[in-house]
Amino acid sequence: MSPLTHHTPRFSSSGTWSSSGNPDFCSDSFRQGWAEDSDNIGSVDDLLDAYIDLYNDCISKLPADFHTGVHLCRGNFIGGRHFAEGGYDVIAQKLFTRLKVNTFYLEYDTERAGGFEPLKFLPKDRHVVIGAVSTKLRELEDKEEVKRRIYQAADFIAEGGGQTREEALKRIAVSPQCGFSTHETGYPLTEEDEKKKLALIRQIADEVWGEP
């Protein structure tokens, strides 16, 4: 459908809304390609503005207590293939402040996602889910390294919002970087692998937030 969204938004009777996005806007090659194509109208940032406005319009009439979220999906194909590379830096301020969702689900399982510095722009009334556990690779992540990264993300959020690390942690969660069942066949993870990944996330969450 678009560089921002390639899945149909999903609504739930439980009072949540989520949609999945593709962060091509983070990619230097995409941005360069857009600028070089004479058939395109406006800049790539104009396009980002248009999609943010479209998303906001879609959720504008939801009840005030209806929780909304968006997942910026970098692609979850067999063999680690993906849509886009590039940190969130170039879109963070506009995305976090203008897109009126409650929670951002961000993939942070590989270096191609960049660092946590863009999280300084996360408003105080927004949350972020750090997708630090890969659903593409069977290897189990190092628990202490994932915890270190969560604290690092919290420090940037705290810096941007004038908060303590403890306050910032209340706006963070941890999850797999994407879903486990993107493909029907040929997927590298077994059911047992998936269970180990989820158990790791549970253990990390208990140790970071102290709420087993």
- Alpha carbon distance 106, 121 (integer Å): 14
Using CA of residue 132, residue 102, residue 58, residue 3, what is the dihedral sign?
negative
Pick the residue with more confidence: 91 or 183?
91
63-107 residue pLDDT tens: 989 999 998 876 655 655 555 556 788 788 888 999 999 999 998
Predicted pLDDT at 178: 83
CA dihedral 131, 154, 15, 8 (to 10 degrees): -40
Q: How many domains does the chain have?
A: 1
138-163 residue pLDDT tens: 899 999 999 999 999 999 999 999 99
User: Is residue 3 in some structural domain?
Assistant: no
> 37 is in which domain, residue-wise?
10-209
User: Is residue 82 in some structural domain?
Assistant: yes
User: Is residue 159 in some structural domain?
Assistant: yes
Q: What is the mean pLDDT of residues 190-202?
A: 95
Mode of pairing for the β-strands spanning 10-12 and 16-21: antiparallel
| Other beta carbons less than 10 A from residue 161's beta carbon | 19
User: Is residue 56 in some structural domain?
Assistant: yes
User: Is residue 1 in some structural domain?
Assistant: no
pTM: 0.80
User: Is residue 5 in some structural domain?
Assistant: no
Residue 121: which CATH number? 3.20.20.210
User: Is residue 77 in some structural domain?
Assistant: yes
User: Is residue 2 in some structural domain?
Assistant: no
DSSP string, 151-186: HHHHHHHHHHHT--HHHHHTTEEEEESS-S-S-SS-
Mode of pairing for the β-strands spanning 16-21 and 67-72: parallel
